[in-house]
Chain A
Amino acid sequence: MEKRIVFPGEQVAERPLRLEGCFAEDGKTYAAVVSVAQEDRVIPLKGRYLPNYGDYVVGIIKDERFSGYSVELNSPYEGQLSNRDTREEFHTGDIVLVKIMAVDEVNNAIVVEPRRLSEGEILEVESVKVPRIIGRNGSMLAILRQHTGTEIIVGKNGRIYLKGGNTTLATLAVLKICREAHTNGLTDRITSFLQQESKS
């Protein structure tokens, strides 16, 4: 079936399904955001990041408190990093990679395993594009690393950390992936783009 663009209120499935960017009503599933639909697969073209258990995200230390830190997550919701879960000391403005350990019913997130990201660059993209930047089983990310020699950490929240190697090329490639996220043959096109650009 053809890829098609669906708009909020349009039916995407005859039965109730739990799909990202969709809602179920009266036994059917409808799009809630502009999405690309292909059979039962629906990929949102836009949306805000909501903390999700197990996600690795790139956050910014927002507040230092007695009991720990609040971490800004490029989302309407913050993460809480407890002193019990880290021996390291952070300061407001520090950039950290964290894992989301728990999310309560009002989207408060508990984050753990902080890793300070220093000296690199941070690129912010729409979080809905992240799966394309990573690629199937990390294939796209591998191509990016291979051609740029850059250390790339992709946060599920749309923040990307780039360090070392040809960061300019890595940035351009990531932005290109975002622009063309839902086109066919993206992997091939990015590969040839990287090959061409790294030669010049």
Chain B
Amino acid sequence: MGSSANKPQLIVDGKRVSGRGFSDLRNLKITAGVLKKANGSAMIEWGKNRILAAVYGPREVFPKHMTDPRKALINARYVMAPFSSMEEHGRSGPNRRSIEISKVAKHVFENNVLVHMFPKTMININMDVLQSDGGTRVAAVTAASVALVDAGIPVRDLVQGVSIGKIEGTQVSDLDKDEDNYGESDMPAIVSLRTGEVLLYQMDGKLTRVEVDTALSMIFEGAKIVREKQVEALRAKYESNLSEARE
């Protein structure tokens, strides 16, 4: 949440600066299977966000002593590339923020993947933020869900989400970078629409009870749109399996 210093106007003439309505999402496109070597992969283009998700596994656990005889171990790694932001050159590798995001992303997939089918193995989920534009964590996990499905790893649902914020007193969906920096609140979430469960939930800002309730409702509404894009990506890759072949 930003300070008032240098704060740009975020709502002009009842609209967001980008021209979007309050519950509109930015342009969103997902491409499944963009990498050859990874077992599964996906690229997400969401606003200016460009995030690559790659999945390896199930495979042998390394280091070996981490092996769980009951289920597959999920390793999630979210990192921002040093060149990914509008600001100065970042430091490469994980920082405190990205370690925390990696942790909550890992919890999503511990729930989502049928981990008990693959005891003693490890599934690595890499999320590389190549260009950041606000909402990277929900975009990264949304892409990772597609990458897992592309890898043929059994999951309970496609999971996805959106971040709900509050700018100049108004609750809006899918914050961009400025809205995130200068807004009054941010609630990123990942959900399973099938079960109605929230699998990643973070919140930062100041919201009343009514606002929390509204934000949750906006999350599920946004997720429906995001899920369609995930299905579209997978359909594009797998539908050719169904169509009549060309000689």
A residues lining the B interface (CB < 8 Å):
3, 5, 7-9, 21, 23, 25, 30, 32-34, 36, 44-48, 50, 76-77, 105-107, 126, 128, 176, 179-184, 189, 193
- Interface size bracket, B side: 35 or more
Among B235, B241, B247, find the residue whose CB has the most chain A CB atoms closer than 10 A: B241
- The one of B69, B119, B154, B245 in contact with A23, judged by C-beta atoms closer than 8 angstroms, is B154
In the bound complex, what is the Cα–Cα distance between A182 and B238 (angstroms)? 11
B residues lining the A interface (CB < 8 Å):
39, 57-60, 69, 114, 117-121, 149-158, 192-194, 230-231, 234-235, 238-239, 241-245, 247
Query: Are B149 and A33 touching (Cβ within 8 A)?
Result: yes
Kindly list chain B residues whose C-beta atoms are within 8 Å of the C-beta of A76. 57-60, 118, 121
Query: Are B231 and A7 touching (Cβ within 8 A)?
Result: yes
In the bound complex, what is the Cα–Cα distance between A32 and B152 (angstroms)? 9
Query: Are B119 and A106 touching (Cβ within 8 A)?
Result: yes
Among B59, B118, B192, find the residue whose CB has the most chain A CB atoms closer than 10 A: B118
Kindly list chain A residues whose C-beta atoms are within 8 Å of the C-beta of B194. 9, 30
Query: Are B69 and A180 touching (Cβ within 8 A)?
Result: no
Kindly list chain B residues whose C-beta atoms are within 8 Å of the C-beta of A184. 244
- The one of A5, A8, A44, A126 in contact with B155, judged by C-beta atoms closer than 8 angstroms, is A8
Query: Are B242 and A9 touching (Cβ within 8 A)?
Result: no
- The one of A3, A23, A105, A193 in contact with B242, judged by C-beta atoms closer than 8 angstroms, is A3
Nearest residue (CB) in B for A2 is: B242
19 contacts across the A-B interface (CB closer than 8 A): A5-B242, A8-B155, A9-B155, A9-B194, A21-B154, A23-B114, A23-B156, A30-B156, A34-B149, A34-B238, A36-B241, A47-B152, A76-B59, A76-B118, A106-B69, A176-B245, A182-B241, A182-B242, A183-B244
Known A76-B59, A106-B69, A106-B120; judge A32-B245 contact (CB<8 A).
no
Nearest residue (CB) in B for A9 is: B157
Nearest residue (CB) in B for A36 is: B242
Query: Are A48 and B152 touching (Cβ within 8 A)?
Result: yes
Kindly list chain B residues whose C-beta atoms are within 8 Å of the C-beta of A183. 241-245
Kindly list chain B residues whose C-beta atoms are within 8 Å of the C-beta of A182. 241-242
Known pairs A46-B238, A48-B153, A183-B244 / 10 extra A-B pairs, C-beta < 8 Å: A8-B156, A9-B157, A9-B193, A33-B152, A44-B152, A76-B57, A76-B58, A106-B120, A182-B242, A183-B243
- The one of B39, B119, B153, B235 in contact with A33, judged by C-beta atoms closer than 8 angstroms, is B153
Kindly list chain B residues whose C-beta atoms are within 8 Å of the C-beta of A176. 245
Kindly list chain B residues whose C-beta atoms are within 8 Å of the C-beta of A181. 241
Query: Are B154 and A47 touching (Cβ within 8 A)?
Result: yes
In the assembled complex, the CB of B37 is this many whole angstroms from the nearest CB of chain A, namely 14
Query: Are B245 and A107 touching (Cβ within 8 A)?
Result: no
In the bound complex, what is the Cα–Cα distance between A3 and B243 (angstroms)? 10
Query: Are A179 and B239 touching (Cβ within 8 A)?
Result: no
Known A44-B152, A45-B238; judge A32-B114 contact (CB<8 A).
yes
In the assembled complex, the CB of A128 is this many whole angstroms from the nearest CB of chain B, namely 8
In the assembled complex, the CB of A194 is this many whole angstroms from the nearest CB of chain B, namely 13
Kindly list chain B residues whose C-beta atoms are within 8 Å of the C-beta of A128. 152
In the bound complex, what is the Cα–Cα distance between A30 and B192 (angstroms)? 13
Kindly list chain A residues whose C-beta atoms are within 8 Å of the C-beta of B119. 105-107
In the bound complex, what is the Cα–Cα distance between A165 and B158 (angstroms)? 46
Among A50, A77, A189, find the residue whose CB has the most chain B CB atoms closer than 10 A: A77
In the bound complex, what is the Cα–Cα distance between A173 and B6 (angstroms)? 65
8 cross-chain pairs, A with B, having the tightest CB-CB distances, nearest first: A9-B157, A46-B152, A32-B154, A76-B58, A180-B245, A106-B119, A47-B152, A9-B194
Query: Are B238 and A8 touching (Cβ within 8 A)?
Result: no
In the bound complex, what is the Cα–Cα distance between A46 and B119 (angstroms)? 19
In the bound complex, what is the Cα–Cα distance between A128 and B238 (angstroms)? 14
Nearest residue (CB) in B for A196 is: B247
In the bound complex, what is the Cα–Cα distance between A33 and B154 (angstroms)? 5
Among A32, A107, A176, A179, find the residue whose CB has the most chain B CB atoms closer than 10 A: A32
Nearest residue (CB) in A for B237 is: A34
Kindly list chain A residues whose C-beta atoms are within 8 Å of the C-beta of B154. 8, 21, 23, 32-33, 47
